[in-house]
Structure 1
Amino acid sequence: MGNDPDNFSCRSGFSSPACLASEIAPDYFDPLAVDPGQARDVARWRKSERARLREARKVLATAERKEIANALMAGLRRVVDDRLQRTEQPVVSFYWPIQDEPDLRPLMNELCETGVDIALPLVETRAAPLVFRRWTPQTRMVRGHWNIPVPPSDAPIVMPDLVLAPLVGWDSDGYRLGYGGGYFDRTLAAVTRKPIAVGIGFQSSKLATIYPQPHDIALDLILTEQGVQVTRAS
């Protein structure tokens, strides 16, 4: 299969599990928020910002999109080398790109060849933490929740040392504007051994704030085409 993106077994353009959540549950908000009215206001604002930011990235030219993806992959190689250099048999969870997200699949192949285990996140139970299953270039993908290509049910479950989260928006405090399903935050809250959480997105998607709510969990790093923008990990 190599590193040629044209050789990937699935060319449908699908991605990580939570990407359609705002369309399925556009009024999603955390009922445990301190003020339900304020939480609803934030949910409406986030829905509007998601639509604006997703529309903005749609208009990127193909050449610019590829340049951004290459810059992100170069930055991510450095992050993996720096953060996981002392980890024996490291596991990195990627995402399968859809809806104009940066396509990092060539790096999935490259890291596999260097001995890094690659995982992909799956929604196997609604409103529950994600499950991470091992992926290799030979994995025969199947259609998962929301029709997203995922590894099959017999692929081994693994726990990532480093997990990537696609960003719709982000702020300088390390908070992520995602797709509205809450799966990523729910997963980070549930794991006993928290992985290094890295947000992947466009520099142009930076926001002054996402108005974080009680359920939001800040990421350890945020990486854009301009390099690491936020570092919270020790």
Structure 2
Amino acid sequence: MGSGWTRGEVMAWRKSERERLIAARLAAASDQRAAWSHAIADVLQRAIGAANGLIVSTYWPFRGEPDLRPLMARLEAMGGCCALPVVLAKGQPLVFRRWKEGEPLVRGVWNIPVPAEGAEVEPDVVIAPVVGFDPHCFRLGYGGGFFDRTLALRAPRPRVFGVGYELQAIATIHPLGHDIPMQAIVTEAGLHQPAALQ
């Protein structure tokens, strides 16, 4: 772990840090978050590059997360295919279902909309929202471990971008053995590449 903390101490710290970071995100004005989301989408589109033929998994925005639905429409218009992650059960990896605007959605876990139907796909690019992130591009999520569990099973692994706001940057998430760093974190300030681990 490197921090000298026990696993229990790390988990307790993460719980309180999640609460703090989500509150900070929700405290930002909605028009400010909308402007940040637009900037994030532009950086992501450049980072993804030519979308033609790519399957890109994004997510449905929840609790003030960056809204990438306009980016999904742009990727589809460029010949890409978009998907949304679906939680099947606690402790299980995610599946990804093809979805585009206008297709039916149902309420999934935490009442987050997920595709009502649609083929399961293997994404080339996975975009994961973050609650917090550190200089090594480790992602603090909601604590369910769904993205880490899913990525650990993928070989080859898709390109993975974490997305959030600059106000979610922290010194470390105190990574544990199961934590998988993102290839980059995208915020309204640009693309953060992982710093070298000491």
TM-score strictly above 0.5:
yes
Q: Secondary structure at the match of 1:136?
A: coil
- Aligned partner of 2:165 in structure 1 is 202
Question: Would you say the 8 A contact 2:84–2:99 is kept in 1?
Answer: yes
Question: Would you say the 8 A contact 2:52–2:78 is kept in 1?
Answer: no
Shift of 1:177: 0.5
**1:126 maps to 2:90:** yes
Alignment deviations for residues 14-58 of structure 1 (CA, whole Å, 9 cap, x no partner): xxxxxxxxxxxxxxxxxxx8xxx7011000000111011111111
Alignment deviations for residues 119-147 of structure 1 (CA, whole Å, 9 cap, x no partner): 00001132111000000112110122232
- Aligned partner of 2:99 in structure 1 is 135
Shift of 1:62: 2.2
- Provide the aligned length of Structure 1 versus Structure 2: 193
Question: What one-letter code is carried by the residue in structure 1 that aligns with 2:107?
Answer: R
- Aligned partner of 1:63 in structure 2 is 31
Q: Which runs of 5+ in 1 are unaligned?
A: 1-32
Shift of 1:148: 1.9
CA distance, structure 2, for counterparts of residue 231 and residue 106 of structure 1: 27
Q: Which runs of 5+ in 2 are unaligned?
A: none
Deviates more, 1:137-146 or 1:46-55: 137-146
- Aligned-pair identity in percent equals 45
CA distance, structure 2, for counterparts of residue 101 and residue 195 of structure 1: 22
CA distance, structure 2, for counterparts of residue 120 and residue 231 of structure 1: 25
State the superposition RMSD in angstroms. Answer: 1.7
TM-score if structure 1 supplies the norm length? Answer: 0.78
- Aligned partner of 1:183 in structure 2 is 146
